[in-house]
Structure 1
């Protein structure tokens, strides 16, 4: 009788993608079996979870990274059900947002699709564009321009929208919303990777507004009838914050026997020769032997590990650059800050100048505001207001030379411009996320296909994470789970 030797897997990177890969490698929803591999997660930082972290401020625990996710993506619901925490999911408590445009905070126009208008009358009623900007957008309905370059595999989001609707729509609406989500500029962002419907609609001869409007789901009825099913929420979070997902995942993985190695950077990845080839994962302190490896780390780190395995894949990964951002979390006494009556936040176009004050003429550092305890009512406490100021973009390096105090003071000055009489906050906290948001530039998906093809030729290796096919939490969950499932299948076939 022979004893089966369990296979070994190393997951490099302990963010949400890496943890979800480890979850699948240890059996996923069904849990581990006698044939499940031993899994080690190696993380360069002091804790796992990536950007899903929390902070304590004013006696409450808040997310310091993403505070919610799109509800229409299935991945968050699936992982929460599998972990037994589906009842902790909570819906967003408000809808709508505002925009700082033409010197005032104004509600966003109705009918936007990722910041792109689909209803000219609603655009006109919002007063966010100048008269010239409105007339240019109207041309899309009356005499739409054909795409100037015909059908291509990819285009920048900015060029597609500008050709059809004019530059003012891009700078006032699309860049603040779609660019802001990615901390990028739509003049450089890939339509195919970020918003494929735009690529399809923008390369047609007809109206872009009409084409995108036809693709949009119908709005909820303004006169719901008894028995109607209420529309699903646009966003969801967890009652303990998005960071609580990491706590549950880590606990589950430890119970399954997963080993965590923290504060350790992987320096090289080698494939041993021979018929029974294995992987050697070198760190600063030791070498781990493994039958399989999942790389779930930022592109620049993965690029370094690929240099000796596939220089072309390493070069493709190195082309993916990252934006650095910072989030300032404020807690105010409710009487010291008057917010718009509705909505969950405010967007600020990236070229917006200070109209007055010590930074007159300089562009805003703040890119968006989130009214956190209005967005998530379970965070609300009587007499206080919780607000987050988002700062930083790919083309704005001012954060690198500013102290936390300077970032906080600048954010407060800009709050005063938006809302006028703003008091002194009870507390504030700055969270910096250096090189945290990958930029999907034109032809990003072609780069990803090249990277994935290289991985296919390296048996026992998988790759996952935000650098590939989606930067949001749900996309990273799906990427990690898919990588873990695929490697588990590969190792299972190898063991036969």
Structure 2
């Protein structure tokens, strides 16, 4: 059986891996000139570094499971430090214990100087979906929302809590119940999890796509834009390539692992309800500016988040050479600054030099004197992060119901039930399993 996977990001590659491992013949059709989606390696100052995502959540098993399956176990590494800060009120302040920004230690919050300890309002959790901002501000006020919850979610979704869905993005907060502070404190006291929260790979997490794509049974075609998918009497026909030279690719089944806008176009005929719901999912653009510095004196810790309310140019920074021993061993300082949130597209309209200069100016305010970089790189991620706005899970259920009605068709990716690497890997492998379990792969 032959399966076409549309999209060569981690979701598509995970689906391809699962299918190929079950004996399918798989072709991955990627419209750009490279694999990996938001995972990418680059050379900055002679160092190979991640220009996109640089770590995975180790407490979700799917990422490490795939790393183990493809034989990269010996490269797995955990952060040398996880101490993080919030840059606010003119200083780097230690991040107090929280549950997704909900204070779990009132004394630590007071000592940090980040926000005033609120007097919580005890309110029931609504049955319907609401925004994170509405839910938190009604119970704990704006200060906790603006200076703890907002920067944490900004780092994950590059979105605004005014629009982000409570149920889709922070179910942990909803699960705290009526008394957020008391429940967060109890959650912290009862926490029994041990082991690292995050993991990476020596040499960069950007190695993962190529390693997955090397699985026997997977064919990869780059610069292969899929323009249409259509059912035929015995499977599927995909129109691939430039409009002046369209090629027909035939497959027994299709996995659409493209971002929501592209998926909506491809599914408009065969799954119109899914296409309509997909078209409603917005995306945020951002950029990562990576600096390599020599003889820099930077504080300890993995980096810091920045509350949007403080009006800075950057939204977060990671001192990668502190965080990852394999980079720290170079003797150089590597810092990544993130720029751009949903609704802030004008920030990204500067050229690369201006973007880097403004990011460096913020870093110098936060970290103190820094030398001129030995090298720097700007990686723009246009339309990178899907926005899980209020009602997102209802949209996803509509998409899944619509697609389930079409034999031999599946979807997967960051647009659905999680934007992190383990979540999209889970999405891809689950889509493949549904094809297999439905008997699509039977001869």
Q: Same fold (TM over 0.5)?
A: yes
Partner SS state of residue 175, structure 2: helix
Shift, 1:219, TM fit: 5.9
Shift, 1:388, TM fit: 0.4
Shift, 1:128, TM fit: 1.2
How far apart in 1 are the matches of 2:348 and 2:231? 38
Partner SS state of residue 334, structure 1: coil
1:21 aligns with 2:7: no
Select which of 191, 194, 210 maps to 1:247.
210
Q: How does 1:213-292 map to 2 (within 5 A)?
A: 213-216=185-188, 218=190, 231-252=194-215, 256-273=216-233, 277-284=234-241, 285-292=246-253
Alignment match, 2:43: 56
Residues 122-148 of structure 1 deviation map (CA, whole Å, 9 limit, x = unaligned):
11111112xxx33xx1x12xxx3324x
1:159 aligns with 2:107: no
In the alignment, is the contact (CA less than 8 A) between 1:291 and 1:491 conserved in 2? no
Unaligned runs of 5+ in 2: none
Alignment match, 1:316: 277
In the alignment, is the contact (CA less than 8 A) between 2:100 and 2:173 conserved in 1? no
In the alignment, is the contact (CA less than 8 A) between 1:197 and 1:212 conserved in 2? no
Alignment match, 1:212: 184
Q: Are residues 48 and 465 of structure 1, via their aligned partners in 2, closer, same or farther at CA, if it must alter by over 3 Å?
A: same
Unaligned runs of 5+ in 1: 1-6, 221-229, 353-362
Greater Cα offset, 280-289 or 12-21: 280-289
Select which of 89, 95, 119 maps to 1:102.
89
In the alignment, is the contact (CA less than 8 A) between 2:85 and 2:92 conserved in 1? yes
In the alignment, is the contact (CA less than 8 A) between 1:45 and 1:264 conserved in 2? yes
In the alignment, is the contact (CA less than 8 A) between 2:56 and 2:199 conserved in 1? yes
Partner SS state of residue 76, structure 1: helix
How far apart in 2 are the matches of 1:257 and 1:219? 43
How far apart in 2 are the matches of 1:101 and 1:37? 53
Shift, 1:492, TM fit: 4.9
Q: Are residues 73 and 283 of structure 1, via their aligned partners in 2, closer, same or farther at CA, if it must alter by over 3 Å?
A: same
How far apart in 1 are the matches of 2:205 and 2:229? 32
Q: Are residues 494 and 97 of structure 1, via their aligned partners in 2, closer, same or farther at CA, if it must alter by over 3 Å?
A: same
Shift, 1:409, TM fit: 0.7
Q: How does 1:29-178 map to 2 (within 5 A)?
A: 36-109=23-96, 111-129=97-115, 133-134=116-117, 137=118, 139-140=119-120, 144-147=121-124, 151-178=126-153
Partner SS state of residue 188, structure 1: coil
How far apart in 1 are the matches of 2:4 and 2:189? 43
How far apart in 2 are the matches of 1:491 and 1:396? 46
How far apart in 2 are the matches of 1:494 and 1:68? 37
1:351 aligns with 2:337: no
| Matched positions, count | 439
How far apart in 1 are the matches of 2:154 and 2:189? 23
Partner SS state of residue 433, structure 2: helix
Residues 220-249 of structure 1 deviation map (CA, whole Å, 9 limit, x = unaligned):
8xxxxxxxxx93111110112111111211
Superposed CA RMSD: 1.7
How far apart in 2 are the matches of 1:457 and 1:382? 54
Q: State TM-score, norm by structure 1.
A: 0.85
1:479 aligns with 2:396: no
Q: State TM-score, norm by structure 2.
A: 0.95
Q: How does 1:284-433 map to 2 (within 5 A)?
A: 284=241, 285-335=246-296, 338-340=297-299, 342-352=300-310, 363-381=311-329, 383-433=331-381
Partner SS state of residue 41, structure 1: strand
Residues 35-92 of structure 1 deviation map (CA, whole Å, 9 limit, x = unaligned):
x332111000001111111001122211111111111010112112211222211111
Shift, 1:399, TM fit: 3.7
